[in-house]
Chain A
């Protein structure tokens, strides 16, 4: 029982990170109907930029909170710039191109970003400096530490903030209008290009935070971490219903929990044939299962079919 509780806690932490990344996929998909393959790499770049700034600041002997805050801020600004540039350079011209073209460009962007990161930060793991004091709290024999609580709280704040932005502000209104019908939104005086750019910037800012959270959670960052993370977050977005913000949050949390419970019990269930090294396979099976039985996801409208 304590194992189950412990795995649930781990899953919740992992899931809230997936949820934040999944929001980036779902935001872009909702408006452009494009899977932004490069989103996982933006997460990775966020982690890398954040860690580099952090290492610089540690040398200045600052205290913990300003270090984290400033490195988060710079990572966000960096990722927002990258996100804007990706859209402007690689996707905008292809908005009306045959449907394979933007997907292929997206893969190209992903590879280019990954290789640039490899050239800048090298092939070794970049270590998250141990500056955050970690206290352990126990709940019914399971433990949760302050870092995990911090990750969960931060992601809840961000999700609520995003919900407010989309549902209650003028900008969010324009975004929803663009997602529903681009042409009509343009007729209503919405600058479509600005809204799309803003969507990419918003998603990238979320990605930067998620990147630093992943780096803090695992204590490491690596130039090719973005790929598998992006794949899982995409699965989360599909699970919740792609294009639906609440769905992405729900899907992320669910996927995180499924994954850690699955990895925790896989060995027992299969009599030791499959171990926890198959953890990464779960997301894929979830994806296939969702696509077979409910392609529109848990909360999405029936938009999975070809238009």
Chain B
């Protein structure tokens, strides 16, 4: 009876949708408004993690400088829409511009490295992330482009089609950003899903599994890898633009290596190449550090002083998570069935 099945499926989606829509209200009432803001960040990181997942999870290229593309997007927005240079271009132009610019940087960085072994790419991207930060830090002289270590303040809020996300009487702004980010995450999710099941997506996965075999099957590996790289980068750029508009200020400090590592950790923890796993990882790893803050309060209550600063613990946990997941569950906590079986057969072959 197909009608009932469609009805049940429809019901499932209606429940999920209504949960997602009411989530900020529920969170606000139950835990507090601060957590709605954290939810916003969870969605933002989902976009970034989905972007990086294209590079690492689908195409198997270890990109450790992802935050550089995030920074490109954020600074594009900040420079073109703030009193810093007196420019106030509309968001409809800046966001796509930042996205394209980040994608372009991705191609620039990928060109010399993608024909080499994968480890080189890792270290070059690592260096690139650091270089971008050095430039952001120092480009305040002789011409003040990035504002140096202070960064850029008073960035214009996101205004889409005449709708200002910071000032209107409809809803508190964190709610509105929640819905905007939810919308963007949905679009990213949709693109990733469609890509995964497309010719390009299959080519990426083929390259991840065996590059030589992929080449033998007629895939232009270099171009397809470049495409993955720049595509991931452009999602980073989009996330950066949204971040700048949401936050209202940017500074080089927000774009350090640890940010890249954190996004990497989200992907690894959730399951490389699995779209839902990646979102799971992004949400868990955004909420976890916030929850850890209570650890400081607990320590204060129990011992009268703070032994371990929860903010320091955060990175330690990320590092440990990377090691433990790779050692114990290399396919991630929430892997795709295919990926899981691949890792299991790999182990069996080893045992033989």
Contacts and interface: CB of A to CB of B under 8 A. Distances in A.
A291 B316 contact: no
A119 B349 CA distance: 41
Given A288-B124, A291-B113, 20 more contacts: A34-B119, A35-B119, A35-B123, A98-B343, A101-B330, A102-B326, A103-B119, A104-B264, A105-B327, A107-B261, A108-B323, A111-B319, A112-B316, A115-B312, A272-B142, A277-B138, A284-B130, A284-B131, A304-B120, A306-B115
Contacts, number: 131
- Counting chain B CB atoms within 10 Å of each CB, the highest count among A93, A104, A115, A273 belongs to A104
Interface in B126-175: 126-128, 130-131, 134-135, 138, 142
Given A278-B134, A284-B128, A101 B326 contact: yes
Contacts of A111: 258, 261, 315-316, 318-319, 322
A307 B264 CA distance: 25
B123 A231 contact: yes
A291 B124 contact: yes
B29 interface: no
A231 B130 contact: yes
Nearest to A234: B123
B315 A231 contact: no
B322 A107 contact: yes
Contact of A291 (B120, B261, B319, B330): B120
Given A100-B60, A115-B315, A291-B113, A105 B326 contact: yes
A103 B117 CA distance: 12
A295 B327 CA distance: 31
Contacts of B62: 100, 103-104
Nearest to B211: A306
14 contacts: A100-B118, A101-B326, A109-B323, A111-B261, A111-B322, A114-B315, A283-B127, A288-B112, A288-B113, A291-B116, A291-B124, A292-B112, A304-B116, A305-B117
A56 B201 CA distance: 59
A293 B157 CA distance: 45
Nearest to A232: B127
B257 interface: yes
A110 B261 CA distance: 11
B180 interface: no
Contacts of B138: 275, 277-278
Contacts of B60: 99-100
A108 B319 contact: yes
B117 A108 contact: no
A273 B322 contact: no
Contacts of B118: 99-100, 103, 306
Nearest to A283: B127
B122 interface: yes
B91 interface: no
Interface in B257-280: 257-258, 261, 264, 268, 272
A139 interface: no
A108 B326 contact: yes
Interface in A73-104: 90, 93-94, 96-104
Contacts of A109: 319, 323
